[in-house]
Protein backbone atom coordinates (compact mmCIF):
# COMPACT_ATOMS: atom_id res chain seq x y z
CA UNK A 1 0.00 0.00 0.00
CA UNK A 2 1.40 3.34 -1.05
CA UNK A 3 1.50 6.07 1.59
CA UNK A 4 -0.72 9.04 0.69
CA UNK A 5 0.29 12.62 1.42
CA UNK A 6 -1.74 14.99 3.60
CA UNK A 7 -3.34 17.90 1.72
CA UNK A 8 -2.49 16.17 -1.55
CA UNK A 9 -5.23 15.80 -4.19
CA UNK A 10 -5.97 12.38 -5.72
CA UNK A 11 -8.53 11.02 -8.15
CA UNK A 12 -10.53 7.83 -7.56
CA UNK A 13 -13.90 6.10 -7.81
CA UNK A 14 -16.32 5.59 -4.93
CA UNK A 15 -16.63 1.80 -4.61
CA UNK A 16 -19.16 1.53 -1.80
CA UNK A 17 -19.90 2.68 1.74
CA UNK A 18 -18.49 2.21 5.22
CA UNK A 19 -20.62 1.19 8.21
CA UNK A 20 -20.94 4.91 9.01
CA UNK A 21 -22.21 5.79 5.52
CA UNK A 22 -18.93 7.26 4.27
CA UNK A 23 -17.87 6.66 0.69
CA UNK A 24 -14.94 4.27 0.18
CA UNK A 25 -12.29 5.23 -2.38
CA UNK A 26 -9.17 3.12 -2.96
CA UNK A 27 -6.09 4.99 -4.12
CA UNK A 28 -2.91 3.02 -4.82
CA UNK A 29 -4.08 0.30 -2.44
CA UNK A 30 -4.97 2.73 0.36
CA UNK A 31 -8.53 3.09 1.67
CA UNK A 32 -9.88 6.64 1.91
CA UNK A 33 -13.19 7.39 3.67
CA UNK A 34 -15.05 10.33 2.16
CA UNK A 35 -18.25 11.98 3.43
CA UNK A 36 -21.12 12.98 1.12
CA UNK A 37 -19.95 10.58 -1.60
CA UNK A 38 -22.13 8.39 -3.83
CA UNK A 39 -21.20 4.96 -5.14
CA UNK A 40 -19.93 4.93 -8.71
CA UNK A 41 -18.82 8.56 -8.80
CA UNK A 42 -15.33 9.56 -9.93
CA UNK A 43 -14.08 12.27 -7.59
CA UNK A 44 -11.04 14.39 -6.97
CA UNK A 45 -10.43 14.41 -3.23
CA UNK A 46 -7.95 15.84 -0.79
CA UNK A 47 -6.44 13.82 2.07
CA UNK A 48 -7.23 15.57 5.37
CA UNK A 49 -6.22 12.95 7.94
CA UNK A 50 -4.00 9.88 8.14
CA UNK A 51 -5.13 7.02 10.41
CA UNK A 52 -3.47 3.70 11.26
CA UNK A 53 -4.80 1.73 8.32
CA UNK A 54 -6.78 4.26 6.31
CA UNK A 55 -7.24 7.92 5.45
CA UNK A 56 -9.97 10.54 5.67
CA UNK A 57 -10.64 12.67 2.62
CA UNK A 58 -12.88 15.50 1.46
CA UNK A 59 -14.32 15.82 -2.04
CA UNK A 60 -12.95 18.77 -3.99
CA UNK A 61 -14.72 18.04 -7.26
CA UNK A 62 -17.15 15.44 -8.57
CA UNK A 63 -15.83 14.43 -11.99
CA UNK A 64 -18.62 11.95 -12.80
CA UNK A 65 -21.96 12.48 -11.03
CA UNK A 66 -24.11 9.50 -10.05
CA UNK A 67 -27.80 9.57 -11.01
CA UNK A 68 -28.43 8.65 -7.35
CA UNK A 69 -27.06 11.99 -6.12
CA UNK A 70 -29.66 14.57 -5.00
CA UNK A 71 -29.52 18.08 -3.57
CA UNK A 72 -29.59 17.83 0.25
CA UNK A 73 -32.94 18.96 1.66
CA UNK A 74 -31.50 20.15 4.99
CA UNK A 75 -29.47 23.35 5.53
CA UNK A 76 -27.62 21.72 8.44
CA UNK A 77 -26.49 18.66 6.47
CA UNK A 78 -22.75 18.16 6.62
CA UNK A 79 -22.46 20.15 9.83
CA UNK A 80 -25.00 18.40 12.07
CA UNK A 81 -23.89 14.94 13.17
CA UNK A 82 -27.32 13.33 12.80
CA UNK A 83 -27.85 12.48 9.13
CA UNK A 84 -25.28 11.12 6.68
CA UNK A 85 -27.47 10.24 3.66
CA UNK A 86 -29.30 13.40 2.62
CA UNK A 87 -27.23 13.72 -0.58
CA UNK A 88 -28.47 10.54 -2.26
CA UNK A 89 -31.76 8.91 -3.23
CA UNK A 90 -33.55 6.88 -0.60
CA UNK A 91 -33.16 3.76 -2.76
CA UNK A 92 -29.37 4.19 -2.72
CA UNK A 93 -29.43 4.77 1.05
CA UNK A 94 -31.29 1.48 1.53
CA UNK A 95 -28.72 -0.36 -0.58
CA UNK A 96 -25.93 1.11 1.55
CA UNK A 97 -27.63 -0.09 4.74
CA UNK A 98 -28.28 -3.56 3.34
CA UNK A 99 -24.59 -3.74 2.43
CA UNK A 100 -23.70 -2.68 5.98
CA UNK A 101 -25.74 -5.52 7.47
CA UNK A 102 -24.39 -8.18 5.14
CA UNK A 103 -20.79 -6.99 5.53
CA UNK A 104 -21.12 -7.33 9.32
CA UNK A 105 -22.66 -10.81 9.09
CA UNK A 106 -19.80 -11.97 6.86
CA UNK A 107 -16.80 -10.15 8.32
CA UNK A 108 -17.64 -10.14 12.02
CA UNK A 109 -19.99 -13.10 12.35
CA UNK A 110 -18.23 -15.35 9.85
CA UNK A 111 -21.64 -16.26 8.44
CA UNK A 112 -22.77 -17.14 4.95
CA UNK A 113 -26.26 -15.90 5.89
CA UNK A 114 -27.40 -12.75 4.11
CA UNK A 115 -30.30 -10.46 4.91
CA UNK A 116 -33.15 -11.35 2.56
CA UNK A 117 -34.22 -7.74 2.08
CA UNK A 118 -34.35 -4.32 3.65
CA UNK A 119 -37.77 -2.99 4.56
CA UNK A 120 -37.75 0.70 3.67
CA UNK A 121 -39.90 3.42 5.22
CA UNK A 122 -42.97 4.65 3.37
CA UNK A 123 -42.24 8.15 4.69
CA UNK A 124 -38.58 8.89 5.53
CA UNK A 125 -39.31 12.42 6.84
CA UNK A 126 -40.32 13.64 10.33
CA UNK A 127 -40.64 10.11 11.64
CA UNK A 128 -38.93 10.44 15.03
CA UNK A 129 -41.36 10.29 17.94
CA UNK A 130 -38.58 11.07 20.41
CA UNK A 131 -36.07 13.89 20.11
CA UNK A 132 -33.31 14.91 22.51
CA UNK A 133 -31.91 18.39 21.94
CA UNK A 134 -28.66 19.21 23.76
CA UNK A 135 -28.18 22.77 24.97
CA UNK A 136 -24.77 24.29 24.28
CA UNK A 137 -22.76 26.42 26.67
CA UNK A 138 -23.66 29.42 24.49
CA UNK A 139 -27.39 28.69 24.82
CA UNK A 140 -27.78 27.06 21.39
CA UNK A 141 -30.52 24.41 21.29
CA UNK A 142 -30.05 21.85 18.54
CA UNK A 143 -27.79 18.90 17.83
CA UNK A 144 -24.12 18.05 18.13
CA UNK A 145 -21.71 18.72 15.31
CA UNK A 146 -20.36 15.47 13.87
CA UNK A 147 -17.77 13.90 16.20
CA UNK A 148 -17.96 16.73 18.73
CA UNK A 149 -20.05 18.11 21.57
CA UNK A 150 -20.39 21.53 20.04
CA UNK A 151 -24.10 22.25 19.66
CA UNK A 152 -25.39 23.56 16.32
CA UNK A 153 -28.63 25.55 16.67
CA UNK A 154 -31.35 23.74 14.70
CA UNK A 155 -34.81 25.19 14.11
CA UNK A 156 -36.28 22.58 11.76
CA UNK A 157 -35.08 18.99 11.60
CA UNK A 158 -36.05 16.80 8.65
CA UNK A 159 -36.38 13.64 10.75
CA UNK A 160 -37.91 14.98 13.99
CA UNK A 161 -41.58 15.74 14.53
CA UNK A 162 -42.44 19.38 13.93
CA UNK A 163 -43.96 19.59 17.43
CA UNK A 164 -40.61 18.53 18.91
CA UNK A 165 -38.77 21.30 17.04
CA UNK A 166 -41.33 23.84 18.20
CA UNK A 167 -41.09 22.66 21.81
CA UNK A 168 -37.30 22.93 21.77
CA UNK A 169 -37.61 26.39 20.24
CA UNK A 170 -39.99 27.47 23.01
CA UNK A 171 -37.55 26.31 25.71
CA UNK A 172 -34.74 28.22 23.99
CA UNK A 173 -36.92 31.34 23.81
CA UNK A 174 -37.74 31.00 27.53
CA UNK A 175 -34.04 30.77 28.36
CA UNK A 176 -33.23 33.91 26.35
CA UNK A 177 -36.19 35.92 27.64
CA UNK A 178 -35.52 35.26 31.32
CA UNK A 179 -31.77 34.85 31.28
CA UNK A 180 -31.81 31.14 32.20
CA UNK A 181 -28.28 29.79 32.08
CA UNK A 182 -27.32 26.93 29.74
CA UNK A 183 -25.22 24.06 31.05
CA UNK A 184 -21.50 24.11 30.30
CA UNK A 185 -20.38 20.48 30.34
CA UNK A 186 -16.70 21.45 30.47
CA UNK A 187 -17.11 23.55 33.62
CA UNK A 188 -20.02 21.52 35.02
CA UNK A 189 -21.95 24.74 35.63
CA UNK A 190 -25.16 26.26 34.31
CA UNK A 191 -28.71 24.95 34.46
CA UNK A 192 -30.42 23.67 31.28
CA UNK A 193 -28.79 20.57 29.75
CA UNK A 194 -31.29 18.98 27.33
CA UNK A 195 -34.78 19.33 25.95
CA UNK A 196 -36.41 15.91 25.57
CA UNK A 197 -39.68 15.56 23.63
CA UNK A 198 -41.92 12.56 22.93
CA UNK A 199 -44.73 12.77 20.36
CA UNK A 200 -47.51 10.32 19.53
CA UNK A 201 -49.65 9.27 16.60
CA UNK A 202 -52.37 11.76 17.64
CA UNK A 203 -49.93 14.69 17.44
CA UNK A 204 -49.69 15.15 21.21
CA UNK A 205 -46.34 15.70 22.93
CA UNK A 206 -44.65 15.34 26.31
CA UNK A 207 -41.78 17.69 27.17
CA UNK A 208 -39.02 16.97 29.67
CA UNK A 209 -36.44 19.65 30.43
CA UNK A 210 -33.22 18.23 31.88
CA UNK A 211 -31.58 20.44 34.50
CA UNK A 212 -28.31 20.52 36.34
CA UNK A 213 -30.33 20.89 39.53
CA UNK A 214 -33.81 20.39 40.96
CA UNK A 215 -35.62 23.64 40.14
CA UNK A 216 -35.60 26.39 37.57
CA UNK A 217 -36.48 30.09 37.76
CA UNK A 218 -39.71 31.12 36.02
CA UNK A 219 -41.22 27.63 35.89
CA UNK A 220 -44.80 28.86 35.23
CA UNK A 221 -43.50 30.96 32.34
CA UNK A 222 -41.71 27.89 30.93
CA UNK A 223 -44.99 25.96 30.90
CA UNK A 224 -46.87 28.89 29.37
CA UNK A 225 -44.36 29.34 26.55
CA UNK A 226 -44.34 25.63 25.70
CA UNK A 227 -48.14 25.48 25.62
CA UNK A 228 -48.34 28.62 23.50
CA UNK A 229 -45.96 27.09 20.95
CA UNK A 230 -47.38 23.55 21.07
CA UNK A 231 -51.01 23.55 22.33
CA UNK A 232 -51.27 19.75 22.11
CA UNK A 233 -48.63 19.31 24.82
CA UNK A 234 -50.00 16.94 27.50
CA UNK A 235 -47.31 17.44 30.14
CA UNK A 236 -44.18 19.35 31.10
CA UNK A 237 -41.69 17.53 33.31
CA UNK A 238 -38.38 18.52 34.90
CA UNK A 239 -35.58 15.97 35.24
CA UNK A 240 -32.63 16.55 37.55
CA UNK A 241 -29.22 15.39 36.37
CA UNK A 242 -26.27 16.87 38.27
CA UNK A 243 -23.81 14.19 37.19
CA UNK A 244 -20.83 14.86 34.94
CA UNK A 245 -20.75 12.86 31.72
CA UNK A 246 -22.86 12.03 28.69
CA UNK A 247 -25.87 10.36 30.33
CA UNK A 248 -28.86 12.51 29.40
CA UNK A 249 -31.44 11.68 32.06
CA UNK A 250 -31.03 11.71 35.81
CA UNK A 251 -33.13 9.67 38.23
CA UNK A 252 -35.46 12.34 39.63
CA UNK A 253 -38.52 13.75 37.90
CA UNK A 254 -40.97 16.46 38.85
CA UNK A 255 -44.12 17.26 36.90
CA UNK A 256 -44.62 20.99 36.37
CA UNK A 257 -47.89 20.73 34.49
CA UNK A 258 -50.21 18.06 33.11
CA UNK A 259 -49.16 14.43 33.10
CA UNK A 260 -45.78 12.71 33.21
CA UNK A 261 -46.59 10.19 30.49
CA UNK A 262 -47.75 9.98 26.89
CA UNK A 263 -50.19 7.49 25.39
CA UNK A 264 -49.56 5.99 21.94
CA UNK A 265 -50.93 3.25 19.71
CA UNK A 266 -48.67 0.59 18.22
CA UNK A 267 -49.53 -2.74 16.58
CA UNK A 268 -53.18 -2.21 17.46
CA UNK A 269 -52.36 -1.83 21.17
CA UNK A 270 -52.31 1.18 23.50
CA UNK A 271 -49.08 2.02 25.33
CA UNK A 272 -48.35 4.32 28.24
CA UNK A 273 -44.88 5.82 27.95
CA UNK A 274 -42.97 7.59 30.70
CA UNK A 275 -39.93 9.68 29.81
CA UNK A 276 -37.27 6.97 30.35
CA UNK A 277 -39.22 4.07 28.80
CA UNK A 278 -37.65 2.50 25.72
CA UNK A 279 -39.90 2.80 22.67
CA UNK A 280 -38.87 2.63 19.03
CA UNK A 281 -38.49 6.15 17.62
CA UNK A 282 -40.15 5.28 14.28
CA UNK A 283 -43.67 4.07 15.03
CA UNK A 284 -44.66 2.95 11.53
CA UNK A 285 -41.43 1.08 10.89
CA UNK A 286 -41.51 -0.44 14.37
CA UNK A 287 -44.78 -2.09 13.40
CA UNK A 288 -43.06 -3.53 10.32
CA UNK A 289 -40.10 -4.72 12.40
CA UNK A 290 -42.21 -6.27 15.16
CA UNK A 291 -44.42 -7.96 12.57
CA UNK A 292 -41.33 -9.65 11.18
CA UNK A 293 -40.20 -10.63 14.71
CA UNK A 294 -43.59 -12.25 15.38
CA UNK A 295 -43.37 -14.06 12.03
CA UNK A 296 -39.91 -15.40 12.89
CA UNK A 297 -41.15 -16.54 16.32
CA UNK A 298 -43.50 -18.96 14.55
CA UNK A 299 -46.13 -18.86 17.29
CA UNK A 300 -49.12 -21.21 17.26
CA UNK A 301 -50.78 -20.31 20.58
CA UNK A 302 -49.10 -22.97 22.72
CA UNK A 303 -45.71 -21.38 23.33
CA UNK A 304 -44.05 -19.65 26.26
CA UNK A 305 -42.09 -16.59 25.09
CA UNK A 306 -39.37 -14.76 27.05
CA UNK A 307 -38.65 -11.19 25.89
CA UNK A 308 -35.42 -9.69 27.25
CA UNK A 309 -34.93 -5.89 27.13
CA UNK A 310 -38.69 -5.50 26.79
CA UNK A 311 -38.92 -1.74 27.43
CA UNK A 312 -42.57 -0.73 27.81
CA UNK A 313 -43.62 -4.19 26.66
CA UNK A 314 -44.12 -3.50 22.96
CA UNK A 315 -42.71 -6.75 21.51
CA UNK A 316 -43.89 -8.78 24.50
CA UNK A 317 -47.49 -7.68 24.10
CA UNK A 318 -47.38 -7.98 20.31
CA UNK A 319 -46.37 -11.64 20.76
CA UNK A 320 -48.97 -12.23 23.49
CA UNK A 321 -51.71 -12.37 20.85
CA UNK A 322 -50.29 -15.61 19.41
CA UNK A 323 -48.60 -17.20 22.45
CA UNK A 324 -49.82 -19.07 25.53
CA UNK A 325 -47.59 -17.11 27.96
CA UNK A 326 -45.22 -14.16 27.53
CA UNK A 327 -42.62 -12.92 30.01
CA UNK A 328 -40.80 -9.58 29.71
CA UNK A 329 -37.68 -8.39 31.52
CA UNK A 330 -36.37 -4.82 31.70
CA UNK A 331 -33.93 -2.92 33.94
CA UNK A 332 -35.73 0.47 33.92
CA UNK A 333 -38.32 0.54 36.76
CA UNK A 334 -40.60 3.08 35.05
CA UNK A 335 -40.62 0.95 31.88
CA UNK A 336 -41.62 -2.19 33.81
CA UNK A 337 -44.41 -0.26 35.51
CA UNK A 338 -45.55 1.01 32.10
CA UNK A 339 -45.39 -2.53 30.66
CA UNK A 340 -47.60 -3.94 33.41
CA UNK A 341 -50.08 -1.09 32.98
CA UNK A 342 -50.02 -1.58 29.22
CA UNK A 343 -50.89 -5.26 29.59
CA UNK A 344 -53.79 -4.42 31.88
CA UNK A 345 -54.98 -1.57 29.67
CA UNK A 346 -55.11 -3.84 26.62
CA UNK A 347 -56.84 -6.67 28.46
CA UNK A 348 -53.83 -8.99 28.14
CA UNK A 349 -53.77 -11.56 30.93
CA UNK A 350 -51.05 -13.92 29.70
CA UNK A 351 -48.17 -11.45 30.16
CA UNK A 352 -45.91 -10.87 33.18
CA UNK A 353 -42.92 -8.58 33.65
CA UNK A 354 -39.77 -8.73 35.76
CA UNK A 355 -37.53 -5.86 36.83
CA UNK A 356 -33.83 -6.48 36.52
CA UNK A 357 -30.72 -6.70 34.38
CA UNK A 358 -31.18 -9.06 31.44
CA UNK A 359 -28.24 -11.23 32.50
CA UNK A 360 -29.52 -11.56 36.08
CA UNK A 361 -33.13 -12.23 35.07
CA UNK A 362 -32.13 -14.76 32.41
CA UNK A 363 -29.84 -16.59 34.84
CA UNK A 364 -32.51 -16.58 37.57
CA UNK A 365 -35.22 -17.93 35.26
CA UNK A 366 -32.85 -20.56 33.92
CA UNK A 367 -32.01 -21.72 37.47
CA UNK A 368 -35.71 -21.88 38.27
CA UNK A 369 -36.21 -24.24 35.37
CA UNK A 370 -37.97 -21.96 32.91
CA UNK A 371 -37.76 -23.46 29.44
CA UNK A 372 -39.36 -21.02 27.00
CA UNK A 373 -40.11 -22.17 23.49
CA UNK A 374 -39.06 -18.81 22.04
CA UNK A 375 -36.70 -16.17 23.42
CA UNK A 376 -36.69 -12.69 21.92
CA UNK A 377 -33.91 -10.21 22.64
CA UNK A 378 -33.83 -6.53 21.69
CA UNK A 379 -30.70 -5.17 23.41
CA UNK A 380 -29.20 -1.67 23.27
CA UNK A 381 -26.50 -0.86 20.75
CA UNK A 382 -23.78 -2.61 22.75
CA UNK A 383 -25.49 -5.95 22.17
CA UNK A 384 -25.67 -8.89 24.56
CA UNK A 385 -23.26 -9.58 27.39
CA UNK A 386 -21.65 -13.05 26.97
CA UNK A 387 -23.45 -14.31 30.08
CA UNK A 388 -26.82 -13.40 28.54
CA UNK A 389 -26.01 -15.47 25.46
CA UNK A 390 -24.97 -18.37 27.73
CA UNK A 391 -28.18 -18.17 29.78
CA UNK A 392 -30.38 -17.95 26.69
CA UNK A 393 -28.72 -21.02 25.18
CA UNK A 394 -28.90 -22.88 28.52
CA UNK A 395 -32.70 -22.53 28.52
CA UNK A 396 -32.77 -24.40 25.22
CA UNK A 397 -35.47 -22.52 23.31
CA UNK A 398 -36.58 -23.89 19.96
CA UNK A 399 -36.15 -20.46 18.40
CA UNK A 400 -34.28 -17.28 19.29
CA UNK A 401 -35.40 -14.04 17.67
CA UNK A 402 -32.73 -11.33 17.85
CA UNK A 403 -33.79 -7.74 17.14
CA UNK A 404 -30.77 -5.46 16.81
CA UNK A 405 -29.98 -1.80 16.17
CA UNK A 406 -26.29 -2.49 15.51
CA UNK A 407 -25.23 -5.03 12.86
CA UNK A 408 -21.70 -5.25 14.28
CA UNK A 409 -22.69 -6.35 17.79
CA UNK A 410 -25.44 -8.52 16.30
CA UNK A 411 -22.89 -10.38 14.18
CA UNK A 412 -20.55 -10.77 17.16
CA UNK A 413 -23.35 -12.28 19.26
CA UNK A 414 -24.52 -14.57 16.45
CA UNK A 415 -21.02 -16.00 16.36
CA UNK A 416 -21.24 -16.83 20.08
CA UNK A 417 -24.69 -18.34 19.64
CA UNK A 418 -23.29 -20.47 16.80
CA UNK A 419 -20.66 -21.90 19.15
CA UNK A 420 -23.50 -22.90 21.49
CA UNK A 421 -25.42 -24.75 18.81
CA UNK A 422 -27.74 -22.04 17.48
CA UNK A 423 -27.72 -21.42 13.75
CA UNK A 424 -28.85 -18.15 12.19
CA UNK A 425 -31.40 -19.14 9.54
CA UNK A 426 -33.08 -15.93 8.37
CA UNK A 427 -32.26 -12.25 8.55
CA UNK A 428 -34.13 -9.13 7.45
CA UNK A 429 -33.06 -5.50 7.72
CA UNK A 430 -35.53 -2.71 8.46
CA UNK A 431 -34.85 1.01 8.08
CA UNK A 432 -36.17 2.67 11.22
CA UNK A 433 -33.75 5.60 10.92
CA UNK A 434 -33.91 7.12 7.42
CA UNK A 435 -31.19 9.69 6.73
CA UNK A 436 -28.90 8.37 9.46
CA UNK A 437 -26.31 5.59 9.42
CA UNK A 438 -28.36 3.35 11.73
CA UNK A 439 -30.35 0.30 10.66
CA UNK A 440 -32.34 -2.39 12.50
CA UNK A 441 -32.22 -6.13 11.86
CA UNK A 442 -34.19 -9.14 12.98
CA UNK A 443 -32.62 -12.61 12.87
CA UNK A 444 -34.13 -16.04 13.46
CA UNK A 445 -31.94 -18.68 15.11
CA UNK A 446 -32.78 -22.34 15.66
CA UNK A 447 -30.84 -25.10 17.38
CA UNK A 448 -28.89 -27.34 14.99
CA UNK A 449 -30.08 -30.48 16.77
CA UNK A 450 -33.71 -29.48 16.27
CA UNK A 451 -36.50 -28.73 18.75
CA UNK A 452 -36.06 -29.43 22.43
CA UNK A 453 -37.79 -32.61 23.63
Residue ranges of domains in the chain: 1-68, 95-122+282-447, 130-266
- Checking if the pLDDT of 186 tops 60, the result is yes
**pLDDT, tens only, 116-172:** 999 999 999 999 999 999 999 999 999 999 889 999 999 999 999 999 999 999 999
Would the CATH topology of 1-68 be identical to that of 130-266?
yes
The residues annotated with a catalytic role in the active site are: 405
* pTM across the whole model: 0.92
Fold held by 130-266: OB fold (Dihydrolipoamide Acetyltransferase, E2P) (2.40.50)
Categorize the per-residue pLDDT at 306 as very low, low, confident or very high, splitting at 50, 70 and 90: very high
**Homologous superfamily of 95-122+282-447:** Vaccinia Virus protein VP39 (3.40.50.150)
SS (H, E, C) the chain: CCCCCCCCEEEEEEEEECCCCCEEEEECCEEEEECCCCCCCEEEEEEEEECCCCEEEEEEEEEECCCCECCCCCCCECCECCCCCCCECHHHHHHHHHHHHHHHHHHCCCCCCCCCCEECCCCCCCCECEEEEEECCCCCEEEEECCCCCEEECCCCCCECHHHHHHHHHHHHHHHHHCCCECECCCCECCEEEEEEEECCCCCEEEEEEECCCCCCCHHHHHHHHHHHCCCEEEEEEEECCCCCCCCCCCEEEEEEECCEEEEEECCEEEEEECCCCCCCEHHHHHHHHHHHHHHHCCCCCCEEEEECCCCCHHHHHHHCCCCEEEEEECCHHHHHHHHHHHHHCCCCCEEEEECCHHHHHHHHHHCCCCCCEEEECCCCCCCCHHHHHHHHHCCCCEEEEEECCHHHHHHHHHHHHHCCEEEEEEEEECCCCCCCCCEEEEEEEECCCCCC
Residues 1-68: name the CATH superfamily: Nucleic acid-binding proteins (2.40.50.140)
Average pLDDT over residues 176-204: 97
Q: Across residues 378-400, what is the average pLDDT?
A: 94
Amino acid sequence: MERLLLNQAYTGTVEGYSSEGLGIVRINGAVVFVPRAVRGEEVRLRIVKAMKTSYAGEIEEILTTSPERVEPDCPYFGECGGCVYRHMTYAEELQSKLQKVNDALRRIGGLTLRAEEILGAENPLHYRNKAQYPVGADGAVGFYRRRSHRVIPVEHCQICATAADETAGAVGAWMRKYGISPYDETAGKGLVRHVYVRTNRAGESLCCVVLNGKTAPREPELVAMILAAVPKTVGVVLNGNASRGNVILGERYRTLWGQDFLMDELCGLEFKLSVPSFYQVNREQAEVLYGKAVEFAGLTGTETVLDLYCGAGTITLAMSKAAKRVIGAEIVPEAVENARENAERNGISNAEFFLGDAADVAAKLEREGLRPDVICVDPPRKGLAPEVVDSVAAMGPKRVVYVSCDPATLARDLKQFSALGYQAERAVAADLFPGTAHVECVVLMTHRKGARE
